[in-house]
């Protein structure tokens, strides 16, 4: 048996989410009539189905002297009587679980209206647990609604769903909704501690925290990961790597570029990382049908393919980041680092860091006006793009280093880019766009080559890298 099943909560007091636990305790302890229709809503792995079964047991438990709850009332299931046991085993005749996502589920709902009039066989109430309730077809939802409008006295419905907003409002409004909020890292750690302790296994709290974070709000995933760690002899680092694609995909351009650089430093398998990113986006795409994700997925697929042959393994991923992430201008620091990663052996990075930090001083020369143009740089790029796509691509590989309201100095990293942008055709476009965005004409574009590269003769990029960069830009 998997640890998740082994340590599935069996009583109200064992429910992992504090708010859910307290809500159910309160309702059960009040002694009032319980609702005939419940809606358990919340993301996957938060314990909705487990809670539904516990509720079914609590309602139907046969034992006279039932388990005393934390609130004092005798509302906990005993987990020993026939009814409790059969629910735990999933064999209870009067607790019916329907998976609304399956074809069978649709048939079952259709039949439900006829069957629902029948009295329970052994238990006090017939409990219908409907999983993935948002997947009900209109027809099935209507059938269910008719039943909910006049529920037979001996029936209880528990609808579980990850997407309550997709349920018809008419159905939703007839249910007592219990929200299963995503657990905090602390709540997951608490659960992991319980499981690890019961298994006689010691994991450091920092390790549990890492597992909890990687589980992204799912108790189920967290326990699966813990199980993997236990099987692997306790090495958390081996099972969980710190490369969370979800976090990465939400980063701004500059942070993402730095992150990619860090991955390379750490020796992480970049193609494996891209695979994880694609998987996450695919999940999201199937869930939301958000077409804007398709560009990103295709971009990643392209990067994945190119990484096989790229001279600089991370370059395709970096290009993907620049093309797809938000953030406009890449701050000088990230860009300096990126430049290092792009063209130079690692041994030189240290030396270059010192070098580029001196050139950073130039950034302040233009003061406020430069800051303004930097903060509006994304707008400038957006203006240039419809005018000329390749000029926009060229601009991506430059950064503004000085601006006094008239003269704008852009730094290029390659002579080739500098020359292109200095041509009349490109210059006019950039000057016009900057003028429009900054609210004034008469802009004069001046290009300069990255200082550090000039000073360090050996730092010239190899020809094949230049060709590659050009190909990427003018593809
Ligand atoms: Zn019982």
- Tens of pLDDT along 5-17? 999 999 999 999 9
Would you state the pLDDT for residue 466? 58
Would you state the pLDDT for residue 357? 36
In a domain, 474, yes or no: yes
In a domain, 397, yes or no: yes
Same domain, 386 and 469: yes
Would you state the pLDDT for residue 339? 41
Same domain, 19 and 163: yes
Measured in angstroms, how far is the CA atom of residue 72 from the centroid of ligand 1?
17
Measured in angstroms, how far is the CA atom of residue 330 from the centroid of ligand 1?
63
Per the CB < 8 A criterion, the answer to whether 447 and 418 are in contact is yes
Q: What is the pLDDT of residues 26-57, one digit of tens each?
A: 999 888 889 999 999 998 899 999 999 999 99
Angle formed by the axes of helices 315-324 and 463-474, nearest 10°? 30
Measured in angstroms, how far is the CA atom of residue 63 from the centroid of ligand 1?
5
Same domain, 141 and 197: no
| Residue bearing the bigger pLDDT, 117 or 363 | 117
Per the CB < 8 A criterion, the answer to whether 425 and 465 are in contact is no
> Across all residues in the chain, what is the average pLDDT?
81
Report which DSSP code applies to 267.
T
Mean pLDDT of the region 406-435: 85
Measured in angstroms, how far is the CA atom of residue 84 from the centroid of ligand 1?
4
Flag the least confident range among 206-215, 261-270, 400-409: 261-270
Contact partners, residue 156, CB within 8 Å, separation at least 6: 34, 36, 37, 38, 56, 59, 125, 126, 127, 128
- Read off the tokens for 416: 């080739």
Same domain, 36 and 149: yes
pLDDT over 50 (residue 329): no
Give the Cα separation of 246 and 281 in Å (integer).
Answer: 9
Measured in angstroms, how far is the CA atom of residue 100 from the centroid of ligand 1?
28
Report which DSSP code applies to 35.
P
Would you state the pLDDT for residue 455? 37
pLDDT over 70 (residue 98): yes
Measured in angstroms, how far is the CA atom of residue 81 from the centroid of ligand 1?
4
Measured in angstroms, how far is the CA atom of residue 86 from the centroid of ligand 1?
10
Would you state the pLDDT for residue 405? 86
pLDDT over 70 (residue 473): no
In a domain, 294, yes or no: no
Give the Cα separation of 26 and 20 in Å (integer).
Answer: 10
Measured in angstroms, how far is the CA atom of residue 67 from the centroid of ligand 1?
8
Per the CB < 8 A criterion, the answer to whether 359 and 452 are in contact is yes
Measured in angstroms, how far is the CA atom of residue 82 from the centroid of ligand 1?
7
With cut-offs at 50, 70 and 90, classify the pLDDT of residue 186. Answer: very high
Same domain, 208 and 146: no
pLDDT over 70 (residue 452): no
- Angstrom CA distances, 103 to 107, 127, 140, 388, 457, stand at 7, 21, 11, 52, 69
Domain that holds residue 353: 328-475
In a domain, 306, yes or no: no
Would you state the pLDDT for residue 454? 41
CB atoms within 10 A of CB 316: 24
Mean pLDDT of the region 244-260: 87
Measured in angstroms, how far is the CA atom of residue 62 from the centroid of ligand 1?
5
| Residue bearing the bigger pLDDT, 69 or 74 | 74
Give the Cα separation of 321 and 4 in Å (integer).
Answer: 37
H or E element that contains 130: strand 126-131
Measured in angstroms, how far is the CA atom of residue 10 from the centroid of ligand 1?
11
CATH of the domain at 138: 3.40.50.300
Would you state the pLDDT for residue 424? 82
In a domain, 265, yes or no: no
pLDDT over 90 (residue 74): no
CATH of the domain at 387: 3.30.300.180
Measured in angstroms, how far is the CA atom of residue 76 from the centroid of ligand 1?
8
In a domain, 282, yes or no: no
Query: Residue 280 — left, alpha, or beta (φ > 0 → left; ψ -120 to 50 → alpha)?
Result: alpha
pLDDT over 70 (residue 345): no
Same domain, 189 and 170: no
Would you state the pLDDT for residue 419? 82
Judged by DSSP in three states, 422 sits in: helix
Measured in angstroms, how far is the CA atom of residue 64 from the centroid of ligand 1?
9
Same domain, 114 and 153: yes
Same domain, 136 and 215: no
Contact partners, residue 5, CB within 8 Å, separation at least 6: none
| Residue bearing the bigger pLDDT, 431 or 331 | 431
Flag the least confident range among 63-77, 348-362, 433-447: 348-362
With cut-offs at 50, 70 and 90, classify the pLDDT of residue 77. Answer: very high
Measured in angstroms, how far is the CA atom of residue 158 from the centroid of ligand 1?
19
| Number of folded domains that form the chain | 3
Measured in angstroms, how far is the CA atom of residue 34 from the centroid of ligand 1?
18
In a domain, 272, yes or no: no
Measured in angstroms, how far is the CA atom of residue 290 from the centroid of ligand 1?
46
Same domain, 438 and 353: yes
Give the Cα separation of 212 and 217 in Å (integer).
Answer: 8
Q: What is the pLDDT of residues 111-169, one digit of tens each?
A: 777 777 788 888 889 999 999 999 888 888 888 888 888 888 899 999 999 999 989 99
Same domain, 77 and 224: no
Would you state the pLDDT for residue 136? 84
Q: Beta strand 407-412 with 398-403: parallel, antiparallel or unpaired?
A: antiparallel
CA nearest 411: which of 315, 341, 335? 335
Would you state the pLDDT for residue 463? 54
Give the Cα separation of 51 and 180 in Å (integer).
Answer: 10
Percentage above 90 pLDDT, the chain = 33
Give the Cα separation of 470 and 448 in Å (integer).
Answer: 18
pLDDT over 50 (residue 349): no
CA nearest 30: which of 73, 87, 69, 76? 73
Tell me how many degrees the CA angle 160-25-4 measures, rounded to the nearest 5.
50
Measured in angstroms, how far is the CA atom of residue 91 from the centroid of ligand 1?
14
Judged by DSSP in three states, 338 sits in: helix
> Where a domain ends, among 130, 149, 180?
180
Would you state the pLDDT for residue 162? 92
Contact partners, residue 49, CB within 8 Å, separation at least 6: 97, 129, 131, 160
Measured in angstroms, how far is the CA atom of residue 56 from the centroid of ligand 1?
10
> Where a domain ends, among 148, 164, 180?
180
In a domain, 292, yes or no: no
138 HSE (CA, 13 A, CB side): 0
DSSP letter string, 392-415: HHHHHTEEEEEESSSEEEEEESSH
> Where a domain ends, among 153, 180, 207?
180
Same domain, 203 and 99: no
Flag the least confident range among 144-158, 236-250, 390-404: 236-250
Same domain, 84 and 102: yes
* Max CA separation in the chain (angstroms): 92
Measured in angstroms, how far is the CA atom of residue 85 from the centroid of ligand 1?
7
- Angstrom CA distances, 59 to 126, 127, 246, 313, 324, stand at 10, 9, 40, 60, 53
Measured in angstroms, how far is the CA atom of residue 9 from the centroid of ligand 1?
15
């Amino acid at each position: 048996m998997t640890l998740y099943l082994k340590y599935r909560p069996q009583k109200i007091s064992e429910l992992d989410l504090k708010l859910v636990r307290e809500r159910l305790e309160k309702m059960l302890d009040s002694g009032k009539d319980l609702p005939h229709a419940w809606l358990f809503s919340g993301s996957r792995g938060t314990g909705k189905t487990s809670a539904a079964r516990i509720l079914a047991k609590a309602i139907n438990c046969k034992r006279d002297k039932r388990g005393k709850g934390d609130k004092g009332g005798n509302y906990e299931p005993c987990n020993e009587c026939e009814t409790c046991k059969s629910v735990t085993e999933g064999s209870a005749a009067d607790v019916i679980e329907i998976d609304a996502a399956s074809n069978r589920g649709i048939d079952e709902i259709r039949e439900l209206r006829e069957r629902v009039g029948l009295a329970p066989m052994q238990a006090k109430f017939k409990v219908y647990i409907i999983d993935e309730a948002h997947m009900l077809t209109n027809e099935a939802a209507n059938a269910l609604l008719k039943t909910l409008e006049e529920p037979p006295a001996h029936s209880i419905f528990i609808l579980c769903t990850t997407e309550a907003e997709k349920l018809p409002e008419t159905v939703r409004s007839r249910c007592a909704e219990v929200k299963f909020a995503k657990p905090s890292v602390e709540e997951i750690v608490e659960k992991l501690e319980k499981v690890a302790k019961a298994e006689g296994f010691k994991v450091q709290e920092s390790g549990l925290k890492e597992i909890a974070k990687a589980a992204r709000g799912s108790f189920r995933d967290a326990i699966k990961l813990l199980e993997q760690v236990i099987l692997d002899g306790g090495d958390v680092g081996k099972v969980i790597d710190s490369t969370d694609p979800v976090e990465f995909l939400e980063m701004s351009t500059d942070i993402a570029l730095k992150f990619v650089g860090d991955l390379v430093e750490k020796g992480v398998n970049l193609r494996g990382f891209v695979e994880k990113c694609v998987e996450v986006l695919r999940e999201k795409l199937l869930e939301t049908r958000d077409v804007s994700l398709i560009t990103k997925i295709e971009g990643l697929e392209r990067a994945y393919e190119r990484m096989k042959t790229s001279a600089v393994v991370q370059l395709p991923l970096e290009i993907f980041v620049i093309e797809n992430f938000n953030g406009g201008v890449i701050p000088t620091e990230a860009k300096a680092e990126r430049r290092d990663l792009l063209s130079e052996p690692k041994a030189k990075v240290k030396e270059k860091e010192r070098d580029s930090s001196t050139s950073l001083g130039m950034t302040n020369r233009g003061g406020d006006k430069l800051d303004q143009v930097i903060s509006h740089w994304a707008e400038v790029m957006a203006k240039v793009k419809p005018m000329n796509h390749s000029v926009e691509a060229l601009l991506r590989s430059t950064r503004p280093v000085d601006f006094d309201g008239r003269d704008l100095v852009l730094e290029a990293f390659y002579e080739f880019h500098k020359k292109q942008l200095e041509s009349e055709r490109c210059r006019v476009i950039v000057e016009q766009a900057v003028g429009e965005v900054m609210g004034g004409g008469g802009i004069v574009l001046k290009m300069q080559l990255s200082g550090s590269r000039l000073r360090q003769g050996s730092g010239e990029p190899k020809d094949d890298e230049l060709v590659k960069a050009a190909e990427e830009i003018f593809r």
